[in-house]
């Protein structure tokens, strides 16, 4: 199991353990993300999964970001996510509460469907993503809210256990 607890390497093949596994769902004002000049006054269907690729000591969502997937986890397939977004009169979707890149395949599938349905899309992220992954999902994201955790390599190394993380983050 990887640092985020959502990827498993079995005999050289990487498996995603949390596709469509949802820890938190809410219809939030977009300003709560916080984005203040992006579709102001609208609601975003906000959701998160389990796990994170950082281990911030100050994490406000540690109950979902620092644990493995519990047995009582709920699944929400991308098609259903779009249905609920519309049902709750949300103008878009925000993947938030924990790091959205830890369920990259799910957010990519959902973002594609959101665009087909005229919904905006938002990543609230720590920014630690490969250039290839960013090139893949970038065309389907309308906003990217980047949390700066610190300003030194040492600080980021403590969070991610990776050297030069602050240079890798967007």
* Three-class SS state of 163: coil
Q: 3-state DSSP helix/strand/coil percent for the chain, to nearest 5? A: 35, 20, 45
Q: How far apart are the first and last CA of the chain?
A: 25
Alpha helices in the chain (DSSP H): 62-65, 78-87, 104-116, 131-137, 153-160, 165-168
- Dump pLDDT digits (tens) for 118-160: 999 999 998 878 899 999 999 999 999 887 766 667 766 676 5
- Dump pLDDT digits (tens) for 73-109: 789 999 999 999 999 999 999 999 988 998 999 999 9
Domain ranges of the chain: 7-168
pLDDT at residue number 67 = 66
Class of domain 7-168: alpha beta
How many angstroms separate the CA atoms of 15 and 42, rounded?
Answer: 36
pLDDT at residue number 53 = 76
Taken in order 18, 23, 27, 31, is the CA torsion positive or negative? negative
* Contact indicator for 120, 39 with CB cutoff of 8 Å: yes
* Three-class SS state of 25: strand
Alpha-carbon distance values, 145 to 37, 97, 107 (Å): 12, 12, 15
* Three-class SS state of 113: helix
How many angstroms separate the CA atoms of 147 and 127, rounded?
Answer: 7
Of the candidates 105, 115, 103, the one whose C-alpha atom is nearest the C-alpha of residue 139 is 115
Q: What is the pTM of this model?
A: 0.83
- Dump pLDDT digits (tens) for 28-72: 999 999 999 999 999 999 999 887 777 666 767 656 666 666 666
pLDDT at residue number 146 = 80
* Contact indicator for 105, 21 with CB cutoff of 8 Å: no
pLDDT at residue number 149 = 66
How many angstroms separate the CA atoms of 61 and 78, rounded?
Answer: 23
């Amino acid at each position: 199991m990887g640092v985020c607890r959502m990827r498993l390497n079995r005999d050289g093949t990487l498996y995603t353990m949390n596709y469509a596994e949802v820890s938190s769902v809410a219809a939030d004002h977009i300003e709560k993300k916080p984005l203040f000049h992006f579709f102001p006054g609208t609601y975003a269907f906000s959701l998160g999964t389990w796990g994170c690729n950082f281990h911030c000591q100050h994490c406000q969502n540690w109950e979902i970001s620092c644990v493995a997937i519990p047995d009582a986890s709920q699944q929400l397939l991308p098609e259903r996510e779009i249905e609920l977004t519309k049902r709750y009169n949300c103008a878009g979707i925000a993947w938030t509460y924990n790091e959205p890149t830890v369920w990259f395949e799910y957010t990519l599938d959902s973002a594609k469907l959101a665009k087909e349905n005229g919904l905006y899309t938002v990543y609230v992220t720590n920014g630690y993503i490969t250039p290839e992954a960013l090139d893949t999902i970038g065309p389907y994201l309308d906003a990217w809210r980047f949390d700066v955790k610190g300003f030194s390599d040492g600080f980021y190394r403590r969070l991610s256990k990776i050297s030069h993380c602050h240079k890798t983050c967007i």
